[in-house]
Structure 1
């Protein structure tokens, strides 16, 4: 249990406030068109190299690192599970989004990853993709749809999830290795998060 007050974050680490949100009934969605020329596609047999490349294209600016620290075999185990659904937006051979839905817990769906490449931010693609996520999640026999977001993510993320029908239920503090130090990420990524070298 953390006490009130300030707590030093060790050098070489990043700290973030993680908010868990949930949805216990399918909300009404406002139909929006997809971004011009982009098509929502479920990737039936994603490969690890494809997934890693898309993961970085979408998440590097927000310091996504959870999957990058896993060995290929562990990622492949997740991707090959029929209860894990991977979607993207595609146009002219380019992948523009990562939507990962995990149904491995009975009666639940976790929105594990949700994001767009920088070029699609602000185009309405996020609302289109979230509508698709809600539709796909509630098409299965679930009674809980949940997601985690954190203060490393876009400042708009928490509000976007709430407007989409998710309700915040708890917060946690996560301290982890800074991927710009530990995993070789470009040190210019996520300039909103300072680097504290050990």
Structure 2
């Protein structure tokens, strides 16, 4: 199959390159105190507020397209853990892990609110993600990121011990046009259909 060249994408859709990364080694023992993480549990309103605060700039839409009942079911699953990094009583980071596949965990969502980026919190939050993920008997932690995410995401994951192992192209309706995100979200990504 030849995939060389350009492929037109309808103006109502987005296309992005997705990179899959994995880490198979557990982290070294903790060298500092854990961060203040709070379990979100099945608190759908809290989860949605933090998800939007972290991901709207990067057009995160996966959980925005899920009904409240379906999201409560995901968050209430004992093999899913959603945690908030809290500072001064405010949620500033999101870490979501999923152990529903035997022998592995997925780092489903990971990020900080915009004003918390660039101050070392990301690396500390990743340390927490690694310790939480490998606290269960797994052989692999994996994550995917895309070209709509922070431009440094792949490099950050690689510095955190992940290695890229696959790539895919995702084409999806633009969440700003479906009403899943506000029309002014992610101003760096042109809105083609008005």
Q: Same fold (TM over 0.5)?
A: yes
Instruction: Say how many residue pairs are matched.
Output: 194
Between 1:23-32 and 1:45-54, the stretch displaced more is 23-32
1:154-178 Cα offsets, whole Å, 9 max, x none, are: 0010100001000000000001111
Which of residues 114, 119, 124 in structure 2 aligns to 1:118? 114
Partner of 1:56: 52
- SS class of match (1:192): coil
Q: TM-score, normalised by structure 1?
A: 0.91
* Equivalence map 1:58-137=2 (5 Å): 58-137=54-133
Question: What is the CA–CA distance in structure 1 between the aligned matches of 2:154 and 2:31, rounded to whole Å?
Answer: 21
Partner of 1:10: 10
**Aligned-residue CA RMSD (Å):** 1.9
Question: What is the CA–CA distance in structure 2 between the aligned matches of 1:44 and 1:59, rounded to whole Å?
Answer: 17
Q: Is there any run of 5+ residues in structure 1 with no aligned partner, and where?
A: none
Change in 2 beyond 3 A, CA 1:33/1:117: farther
Following superposition, the deviation at residue 33 of structure 1 comes to: 7.4
Partner of 1:23: 23
Change in 2 beyond 3 A, CA 1:196/1:32: farther
Change in 2 beyond 3 A, CA 1:169/1:102: same
Q: Is there any run of 5+ residues in structure 2 with no aligned partner, and where?
A: none
Q: TM-score, normalised by structure 2?
A: 0.93
Following superposition, the deviation at residue 32 of structure 1 comes to: 6.7
Following superposition, the deviation at residue 46 of structure 1 comes to: 3.2
Alignment of 1:42 onto 2:38: yes
Question: What is the CA–CA distance in structure 2 between the aligned matches of 1:158 and 1:149, rounded to whole Å?
Answer: 7
Following superposition, the deviation at residue 2 of structure 1 comes to: 5.8
